[in-house]
Amino acid sequence: MAEMGIFEAMYSARALRRFKPDPVPDEILNKVLDAAIRAPSGSNEQSWLFVVVKDAAQRKKLGDIYRRGGDILMALYANRTKPAHMSQSTFDKLMASATYLIQHMADAPVLLVACLKAAAQSGPPPKLPPEVLEKMRGLARMSGSSIYPAVQNIILACRAFGLGTVLTTIHLFYEDEVKSVLGLPADVQTYALMPIGYPSDNFGPIKRRPVSEVVCLDRYGNPWKG
Ligand SMILES: Cc1cc2nc3c(=O)[nH]c(=O)nc-3n(C[C@H](O)[C@H](O)[C@H](O)COP(=O)(O)O)c2cc1C
> What atom in ligand 1 is closest to the CA of residue 101?
11
- The alpha-carbon radius of gyration of the chain (Å, integer) is 19
| Beta bridge pairs of residue 196 | 110, 165
* CA end-to-end distance (rounded Å), the chain: 34
Strand order in the sheet with 110-117: 48-53, 110-117, 188-197, 164-165
What the chain holds in terms of domains, given with CATH numbers, is 6-118+144-214 (3.40.109.10)
SS3 readout for 36-78? HCCCCCHHHCCCEEEEEECCHHHHHHHHHHHHHHHHHHHHHHC
Are 14 and 123 contacting, i.e. CB atoms less than 8 angstroms apart? no
Contacts 24+ apart (CB under 8 A), 85-94: 85/209, 85/213, 90/207
Q: Please report, in tens digits, the pLDDT of each residue of the chain (226 residues total).
A: 557 999 999 999 999 999 999 999 999 999 999 999 999 999 999 999 999 999 999 999 999 999 999 999 999 988 888 999 999 999 999 999 999 999 999 999 999 999 999 876 667 677 888 888 877 776 778 889 999 999 999 999 999 999 999 999 999 999 999 999 999 999 999 999 999 999 999 999 999 999 999 999 999 999 999 8
Q: What is the predicted pLDDT for the residue at 15?
A: 98
Buried b (16+ CB within 10 A) or exposed e, 152-162: ebbbbbbbbbe
> What atom in ligand 1 is closest to the CA of residue 169?
8
- Please work out whether the CB of residue 165 comes within 6 Å of at least one atom of ligand 1: no
Rounded to whole angstroms, how far apart are CA atoms 83 and 190? 28
pTM over 0.85: yes
To test the pocket of ligand 1, the residue of 85, 169, 170 to mutate (highest count of ligand atoms within 8 Å of its CB) is 169
